[in-house]
Amino acid sequence: MLNKFNSNNFIIFAICFSLFFGILLRVYNLNYDNLWFDEMVSFWVSDPSITFAETYARHRGSEGSPFLFNFLMKFLYKIFGYQSYMGRYFSVTFGILSIISVTYLSSLLKKNNAYVLVVFLVSFNVFLIKYSQEARLYAFAFFMTSLAAIFLVKAFKSKKNLFLNTFLYIFFQTLAFLGHPFVLIFFFSLIAYYFFYYLKFKKNLVFLNYSIFIILVLLAIYLPIYVGESKQYPHTWLEHPGLKFFTNFYFSTFFGSRLLGLIHLALLIGLIISFKNKIINELNFVTLLILFIFLSYFTPLLYGWLYKPIIHSRYIIFVLIPIIVVLSYLIFEIKSKYFKSLIISILVVLTFGNQFRESNFKQFYEVRPRYKADYFHPMKKINDSNHKNYFLNHSLYNEEEFWSDVFENYLRIFIKENNFNINQINLSELKNKKGYVWILCPKDLIEKKCGKIRTKHPFKFQILKDDEFNSLNLKLIKLE
């Protein structure tokens, strides 16, 4: 009895410890960095002051993802105000809820303590922490995928509330692929699993038949719309993965270091091979999750080889759900208590220890570096100077108006939020001015030659000051 009491206390402590730090690492200094460019695009698209039609038009011209996330962000800004940091609160909410949802999913698979390891691994996962702190669609898509998986498991495991669970699976699966199209891989993993399930057990699952049929109908309606939208913004910057990718399959990125990534990958592959007979013979939900892992890589890679590259670590962020859940599940299937404890100890010690290399943890005891463009300090420098005019220098020849609108919109709100008294001028105003003007250049984002001001009618100027601010270049010039 005493051992059971101590065990229960340890489980409660481990869960509370993980949740506390999982929430803290996601929320603390959430808006320390200014928005990076993709976040600015979402911010610009979701402007609550423009009409729904204008928002949709902006989305079609600037995003390769579905419209749902920016649509929801527009309502968020309408309700709580159009502030640059508000979108990150939206994302971090889903990031925090995902800790609970993925842990609950693990607890549904088997009544063991694997979910305790899951809550730890999700809470301290550096990749999930990072994308919980960005005003982009990835945390939303991750959470919706976890909910779809939860209600699918519940529908599989019990006839009680079967209609409700089936409905909720369809609902969250639909929201998930409306959040990010790659989440459809989970649906097609289910179809593949059902095919093997039927061959082995000769069972016709009516609820699954209806689920697949309804989602296919929804896809038949939606996919032509999405394809029409995404054609306007091709992902030309993506490249085919190199040889290095096939040595770790983004695991180093997912888990924070080369060592940790390789350990997780080797453990996952080793455990799947060790339990292959159990996985094949039982053909339970773990089998579906393993299919999900495989297709999450195979599908975008195949598409890239046949058509154009589309795979990127953040585009398949949802693959961390089956990776963490399957890994934890199979670890707790190990019969040897010593070997099981050893593996868990290694994962816990290395995962927690790795946090001391990450800025989101190091910020508690030293100054946090800035990895994204720092707009505050150059803007403050302009504000504190005797010259209040600045010009934002761009270089993308074919999309000058787009880039200008996105940056101008963000900086207009940013200046207002920080009570700066400065004025942005355009190129035509710059050419007609005399005297002193600041030039702000987002050099690592879009501008590679910050020393030039692109114009068909060159004019002379003298550079008086030249400073660097995390991917930004600020110059004070005197127009001649």
Per-residue pLDDT at 91: 96
Residue 389: Cβ-neighbour burial (10 angstroms; 0-12, 13-18, 19+): middle
- Residue 250 in contact with residue 316, Cβ under 8 Å? yes
Query: What pLDDT is stored for residue 434 in this prediction?
Result: 81
Q: Would strands 389-392 and 423-425 be described as parallel, antiparallel, or unpaired?
A: parallel
Residues in the chain: 480
CA 385/CA 379 separation, integer angstroms: 10
User: How confident is residue 446, by pLDDT bands cut at 50, 70 and 90?
Assistant: very low
pTM over 0.95: no
Q: Could you identify the residue written with the tokens 């892992």?
A: 293
Note the pLDDT tens digit of each residue in 404-440.
888 889 999 999 999 999 998 887 777 777 888 898 8
The phi and psi torsions of 390 (rounded to 5 degrees) equal -140, 155
Helix (H, G, I), strand (E, B) or coil at 436: strand
Closest by Cα among 441, 444, 439, 446 to 463: 439
How does pLDDT run across 123-155, given as a tens digit for each residue?
999 999 999 999 999 999 999 999 999 999 999
Is the pLDDT at 445 greater than 70, yes or no? no
Mean pLDDT of 351-366: 87
Q: Which has more pLDDT, 400 or 174?
A: 174
Residue 237 has pLDDT above 80, yes or no: no
Residue 2 has pLDDT above 50, yes or no: no
- pLDDT on residue 395: 56
Q: How far is CA 357 from the centre of its chain?
A: 21
The pLDDT, as a whole number, for residue 461 is 79
Banded model confidence at residue 37, pLDDT cuts 50, 70, 90: confident
In order of 268, 438, 475, the CA distances from 453 in angstroms are 52, 12, 12
Q: What mean pLDDT is predicted for residues 9-32?
A: 92
Amino acid 325: pLDDT: 97
The whole-angstrom separation of Cα 88 and Cα 413 is 15
Cβ-proximal residues to 419 (8 Å cutoff; 6+ apart), any chain: none
Q: Give CA–CA dist 91/97, Å, rounded.
A: 10
| pLDDT per residue as tens digits for the range 267-291 | 999 999 999 999 998 889 999 999 9
pLDDT for res 405: 87
Q: Which residues of 32-41 are buried (b: 16+ CB within 10 A; e: fewer)?
A: ebbbbbbbbb
Which 3 state secondary structure label does DSSP give 435? strand
Question: 252 or 368: which carries more pLDDT confidence?
Answer: 252
Give me the pLDDT at residue 396, please: 46
Beta bridge partners of 468: 473
